[in-house]
């Protein structure tokens, strides 16, 4: 009986066979084996061995199918192979450091060659069956698509198909390959022991064969052991293991221990050699290890070569000719250009050749990032800034060097002055500015990374200033306008407090350095005069208006908007210009609010806020997608248009200014036209907020900014200016909104003053029909306004026919004329208007029905002429009805007017009595 059941030795089982059968009569007898059975040793295999064995078996199947040209089965086996390799990827990345096994690359190469051979054989392809031909096309397409990920490995394999890679050599020296164990019995040699031995070096081969021979000897000795030895072994096993689990656990043998000792000795020897080599090294410097395949750096020049300008230019052209090619190492290209620059400076080849190499380094750094929508790496960004500033300093220090994109390469001059170099520093600095914007968008705006990146703006502005100086010296008008616009875009949104201090006289008007407003004025006026493209001029005007509004120059900004007529044709502009226009209008509205022009502030902000999407219109973020409004491509494009965080306008501040402006305009208007059925809305957004609040059954204390404004509006409708001011100006609103303004205290005082004035107007509109006369001093005391201000407000209302009253100066009172209808009269007039409209609608419906009735009655047995006469008569009858109805409406209106006049006369007589 086998040792697997741990029931003692074979001899014991023979002697006591009957007893065992008597005691275990219920056990199955088909598990008993003969005595001459080979004892099988249980082997625990790792995941790597299992995966590699699966791969090698599939590869063997593919080769068998290729021999008989069974293409459909080859296709299915290839699909199995790809799935098996996908499962083995975690093992490969862990054990092989992500390097694809060589036997797998060999299979892909052989399969590709097989497909190409069959495909190129046109005659043989014609003789293929329909199933084979269809499978061949599918297999060719799938293989070509699949091997794109293994192009580099396939290229290295085809260069040396009979050699092993470095990784596999190391594994062969250290231990036996897992693929060898998996496919030891295969005849093809793919991952098999024989093939592996053939490919390994001779030393490794001899060691391996020797180990195999030893294993064979040991196996023979085990097979031919005597029964007594097996009996002693089984008894020792019984004593050694306490339970069945320990019996089947993997355990190390003496041979494996020896192999482990040998590996450890080899590792120690290698470490010792490395240490000795490091000690013998004179430099003793660290060597940077680069990820991926190490490509040897090509030699720049021969040792005995004479370094001169033509040689350096030829080398430069050689390096740059590889630009954009598929297998070009872009990092190596940048290193070579830096080395070439150092060589040129060592041999004093002149500044022109150094400038040329600088410009090519900038181009190579830009080329390193393949996706233009993604930002470049920080290390390349710092390098780019340094090289760009260095090149511009060289150009400014040497006026005889002219760099222009109009210079042809064959006309470049590096030897005699003036030097001509092909290149465009303007395009380079524009790309630099765009990369800076992309870097800012990539960072989290609330992190320290954004602040550290924003510090680079100082260097970017310095670089732009160097380019400005260069083109002011030797550039044309178009180039100067373009670089001026770049400088403007870094300047227009920045607030300069010195401008306001000079305006108030706290600082001398002519300082040592020009203010930002003066610089903007100079740059923009040059663009207005010299630019021949509408886009640059439009963006300059918008930035100029924005900067004026930022510094409270309301009248200059307003005049620029009106004279430029931008609002007429801005819809035809590109998206970035429209975003700048929206930002300008938002900032202009804030400026008008600060300068106490409430109506203008509302007009500037209404177009932005009425859409409900100011965040998107100002390019400060994207709203959640509603029912797939935009595709993924559109969303990607819109994200690229977003403004950096430090240029954002506070949306809550913008909305609060808009709602407060709307409140100051809408509430007096509602009070003046309370019973007007044709009343129009000044602000739709504010009106909706007010109505939604009125529909609520229970209104708690305000919490958000909108709720504060709505509560203030309700207080203003009653003429309670103190409650209104407390809702608008309080600690919470100051923190959220008003403290964001420069000179916030002045803004709060202005707000309280406007609230008092508009509350007074609302009070007069609401309660004028209650009073016969009102004392002006009592109004001034009630609203804490100066007496002349109250007198001025009431006079304006009387002049504009908003208030039917007259001023009595000796008594300082306002005498009401009582010309306004009472509340009951106004409601009655509204009711009459609605009833009249209802009658008109009913008569129109009745006319339509009567017209259809006459047409139906006249059709049928009448001739055409009779029908036409009857239709005409019906049409005249309808016209007569309409005339009668219009006359009746006119009579009704006249009657209503007479009634109103009679009522007014009765009221006047009662007052006189």
What's the whole-number mean pLDDT along residues 90-98? 81
Q: How far apart are the first and last CA of the chain?
A: 138
Q: Who wins on pLDDT, 2 or 811?
A: 811
Distance, CA of 463 to CA of 391 (rounded, Å): 10
pLDDT at 66 over 70: yes
The three-class DSSP label of residue 366 is: helix
**Half-sphere exposure at residue 453, Cβ-oriented, CA atoms within 13 angstroms:** 26
Give the pLDDT confidence score for residue 485 in this predicted structure. 94
As given in the structure block, the two tokens for residue 723 are: 């409650």
Q: What count of other Cβ atoms lies within 10 Å of the Cβ of residue 16?
A: 14
pLDDT at 664 over 80: yes
In DSSP terms, which residues pair with 816 in a beta bridge?
805
Give the pLDDT confidence score for residue 397 in this predicted structure. 92
Q: Which has the closest alpha carbon to 309: 350, 281, 256?
A: 350
Give the pLDDT confidence score for residue 600 in this predicted structure. 92
pLDDT at 863 over 50: no
Residue 377 — pLDDT band, cuts 50, 70, 90?
Answer: confident
Q: Work out the angle between the directed axes of helices 787-799 and 776-783 (0-180°, nearest 10).
A: 110
Give the pLDDT confidence score for residue 260 in this predicted structure. 66
Give the pLDDT confidence score for residue 491 in this predicted structure. 93
Q: Who wins on pLDDT, 864 or 406?
A: 406
What is the rounded radius of gyration, in angstroms, for the C-alpha atoms of the chain?
47
Distance, CA of 787 to CA of 778 (rounded, Å): 9
With beta carbons less than 8 A apart as the criterion, state whether 515 and 498 touch: yes
Give the pLDDT confidence score for residue 286 in this predicted structure. 58
Q: Which helix (H) or strand (E) holds 815?
A: strand 813-816
Task: Name which of 253-257, 483-487, 556-560, 746-750 the model is least confident about.
Answer: 253-257
Give the pLDDT confidence score for residue 476 in this predicted structure. 87
Q: β-pairing, 805-808 with 773-775?
A: unpaired
pLDDT at 909 over 80: no
Q: Who wins on pLDDT, 455 or 96?
A: 455
What number of H helices and E strands is found in the chain?
42, 5
Q: What would the pLDDT profile of 421-453 be if each residue is shown by its tens digit?
A: 999 999 999 999 999 999 998 888 898 999 999
Distance, CA of 726 to CA of 304 (rounded, Å): 88
Residue 865 — pLDDT band, cuts 50, 70, 90?
Answer: very low
As given in the structure block, the two tokens for residue 503 are: 């305006």
Q: What would the pLDDT profile of 737-757 be if each residue is shown by its tens digit?
A: 999 998 889 999 999 999 999
**Average pLDDT, rounded, for the chain:** 77
pLDDT at 412 over 80: yes
Q: Who wins on pLDDT, 908 or 553?
A: 553
Give the pLDDT confidence score for residue 274 in this predicted structure. 54
What's the whole-number mean pLDDT along residues 218-225? 42
Q: β-pairing, 419-422 with 401-404?
A: parallel
Spatial neighbors of 438 by CB under 8 A, at least 6 apart, are 373, 374, 375, 376
With beta carbons less than 8 A apart as the criterion, state whether 387 and 358 touch: yes
Q: What would the pLDDT profile of 24-62 be if each residue is shown by its tens digit?
A: 444 444 444 444 444 555 667 788 888 888 889 999 999
Give the pLDDT confidence score for residue 589 in this predicted structure. 94
Give the pLDDT confidence score for residue 396 in this predicted structure. 92
Give the pLDDT confidence score for residue 235 in this predicted structure. 45
Distance, CA of 384 to CA of 365 (rounded, Å): 7
The three-class DSSP label of residue 806 is: strand
Distance, CA of 402 to CA of 433 (rounded, Å): 23
With beta carbons less than 8 A apart as the criterion, state whether 585 and 605 touch: yes
Task: Name which of 93-107, 113-127, 176-190, 586-600 the model is least confident about.
Answer: 176-190
pLDDT at 588 over 90: yes
Q: What would the pLDDT profile of 478-511 be if each residue is shown by its tens digit?
A: 999 999 999 999 999 999 888 888 887 777 766 6
Q: What count of other Cβ atoms lies within 10 Å of the Cβ of residue 641?
A: 13
Give the pLDDT confidence score for residue 497 in this predicted structure. 86
With beta carbons less than 8 A apart as the criterion, state whether 487 and 465 touch: yes
pLDDT at 205 over 70: no
Cα-Cα-Cα-Cα torsion 119, 121, 127, 129, nearest 10 degrees, comes to -20
Give the pLDDT confidence score for residue 693 in this predicted structure. 84
Q: Which has the closest alpha carbon to 354: 300, 305, 403, 409?
A: 403
Give the pLDDT confidence score for residue 483 in this predicted structure. 93
What's the whole-number mean pLDDT along residues 728-732? 90
Task: Name which of 121-135, 259-273, 439-453, 821-835 the model is least confident about.
Answer: 259-273
With beta carbons less than 8 A apart as the criterion, state whether 405 and 478 touch: no
Residues in the chain: 913
Surface-to-core class of residue 725, CB atoms within 10 Å of its CB (0-12 exposed, 13-18 middle, 19+ buried): buried
User: Which letter does DSSP use for residue 292 in this model?
Assistant: S
User: Which letter does DSSP use for residue 402 in this model?
Assistant: E
As given in the structure block, the two tokens for residue 316 are: 């430069």
Give the pLDDT confidence score for residue 327 in this predicted structure. 77
Three-state SS annotation for 132-186: HHHHHHHHHHHHHHHHHHHHHHHHHHHHCCCCCCHHHHHHHHHCCCHHHHHCCCC
The CATH class, in words, for 650-816 is mainly alpha
């Amino acid at each position: 009986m086998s040792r697997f059941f741990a029931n003692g030795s074979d001899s014991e089982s023979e002697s006591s066979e009957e007893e065992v059968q008597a005691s275990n009569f219920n056990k199955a007898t088909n598990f008993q084996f003969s005595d001459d059975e080979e004892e099988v040793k249980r082997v625990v295999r790792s995941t790597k061995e299992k995966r590699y064995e699966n791969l090698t078996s599939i590869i063997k199947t593919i080769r068998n199918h290729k021999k008989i040209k069974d293409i459909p089965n080859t296709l299915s086996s290839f699909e199995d192979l790809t799935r098996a390799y996908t499962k083995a990827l975690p093992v490969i990345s862990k054990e092989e450091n992500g390097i694809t096994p060589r036997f797998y690359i060999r299979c892909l190469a052989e399969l590709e060659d097989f497909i190409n051979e069959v495909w190129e054989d046109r005659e043989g392809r014609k003789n293929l069956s329909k199933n084979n031909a269809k499978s061949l096309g599918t297999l060719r397409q799938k293989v070509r698509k699949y091997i794109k990920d293994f192009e580099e490995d396939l290229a290295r394999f085809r260069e040396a198909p009979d050699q092993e890679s470095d990784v596999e050599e190391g594994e062969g020296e250290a231990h036996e390959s897992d693929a060898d164990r998996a496919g030891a019995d295969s005849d093809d040699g793919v991952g098999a022991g024989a093939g592996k031995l053939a490919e390994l070096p001779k030393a490794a081969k001899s060691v391996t064969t020797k180990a195999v021979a030893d294993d064979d000897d040991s196996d023979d000795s085990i097979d031919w052991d005597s029964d007594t030895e097996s009996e002693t072994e089984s008894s020792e096993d019984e004593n050694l293991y306490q339970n069945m689990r320990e019996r089947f656990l993997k355990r190390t043998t003496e041979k494996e221990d020896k192999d482990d000792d040998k590996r450890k000795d080899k590792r120690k020897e290698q470490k010792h050699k490395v240490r000795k080599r490091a000690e013998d090294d004179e430099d003793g410097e660290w060597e940077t290890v680069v990820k991926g395949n190490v490509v040897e750096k090509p030699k720049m020049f021969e040792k005995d070569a004479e370094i001169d300008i033509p040689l350096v230019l030829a080398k430069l052209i050689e390096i740059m000719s590889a630009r954009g090619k598929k297998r070009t190492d872009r990092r190596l290209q940048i290193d070579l250009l830096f080395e070439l620059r150092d060589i040129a400076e060592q041999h004093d080849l002149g500044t022109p050749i150094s400038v040329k190499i600088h410009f090519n380094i900038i181009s190579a750094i830009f080329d390193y990032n393949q996706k233009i929508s993604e930002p470049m790496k920080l290390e390349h960004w710092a390098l780019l800034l340094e090289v760009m500033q260095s090149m511009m300093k060289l150009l400014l220090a040497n006026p005889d060097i002219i760099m222009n994109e109009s210079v042809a390469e064959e006309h470049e001059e590096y030897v005699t002055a003036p030097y001509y170099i092909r290149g465009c520093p303007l395009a380079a600095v524009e790309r630099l500015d765009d990369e800076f914007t992309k870097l800012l968008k990539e960072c989290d705006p609330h992190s320290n990374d954004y602040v550290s990146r924003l510090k680079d703006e100082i260097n970017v502005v310095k670089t732009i200033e160097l380019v400005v100086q260069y083109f002011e010296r030797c550039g044309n008008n178009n180039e100067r306008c373009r670089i001026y616009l770049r400088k403007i875009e870094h300047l227009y949104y920045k607030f300069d407090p010195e401008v306001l201090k000079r305006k108030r006289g706290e600082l001398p008007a002519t300082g040592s350095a020009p203010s930002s407003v003066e610089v903007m004025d100079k740059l923009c006026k040059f663009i207005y005069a010299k630019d021949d493209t509408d886009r640059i001029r439009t963006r300059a005007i918008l930035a100029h208006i924005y900067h004026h509004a930022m510094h409270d120059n309301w009248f200059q900004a307003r005049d620029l908007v009106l004279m430029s007529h931008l609002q007429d044709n801005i819809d035809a502009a590109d998206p970035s210009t429209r975003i700048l226009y929206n930002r300008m209008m938002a900032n202009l509205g804030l400026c008008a609010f600060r300068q106490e022009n409430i109506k203008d502030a509302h007009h500037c902000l209404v177009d932005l806020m009425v859409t409900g999407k100011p965040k998107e219109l100002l390019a400060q973020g994207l709203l959640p997608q509603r029912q797939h409004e935009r595709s993924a491509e559109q969303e990607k494009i819109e994200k690229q248009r977003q403004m950096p965080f430090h240029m954002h306008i506070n949306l809550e501040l913008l909305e609060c200014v808009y709602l407060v402006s709307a409140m100051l305009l809408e509430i007096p208007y509602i009070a003046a036209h309370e019973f007007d059925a044709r009343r129009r809305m000044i602000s739709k957004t504010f009106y909706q907020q007010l109505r939604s609040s009125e529909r609520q059954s229970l209104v708690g204390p305000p919490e958000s900014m909108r709720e504060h404004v709505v509560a203030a509006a309700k207080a203003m409708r009653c003429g309670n200016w103190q409650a209104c001011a407390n809702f608008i100006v309080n600690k919470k609103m100051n923190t959220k909104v008003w403290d964001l303004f420069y000179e916030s205290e002045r803004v709060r005082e202005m707000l309280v003053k406007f609230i008092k004035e508009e509350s007074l107007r609302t009070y007069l509109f609401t309660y004028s029909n209650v009073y016969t006369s009102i004392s002006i001093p009592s109004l001034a005391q009630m609203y804490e306004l100066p007496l002349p201000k109250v007198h001025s407000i009431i006079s304006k209302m009387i002049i504009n026919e908003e208030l039917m009253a007259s001023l009595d100066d000796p008594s300082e009172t306002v005498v009401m004329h009582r010309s306004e209808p009472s509340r009951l009269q106004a409601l009655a007039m509204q009711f009459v208007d609605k009833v009249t409209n209802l009658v008109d609608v009913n008569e129109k419906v009745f006319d339509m029905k009567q017209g259809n009735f006459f047409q139906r009655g006249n059709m049928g047995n009448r001739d055409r002429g009779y029908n036409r006469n009857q239709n005409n008569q019906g049409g005249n009858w309808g016209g007569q009805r309409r005339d009668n109805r219009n006359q009746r409406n006119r009579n009704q209106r006249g009657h209503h007017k007479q009634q109103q006049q009679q009522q007014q006369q009765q009221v006047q007589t009662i007052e006189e009595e």
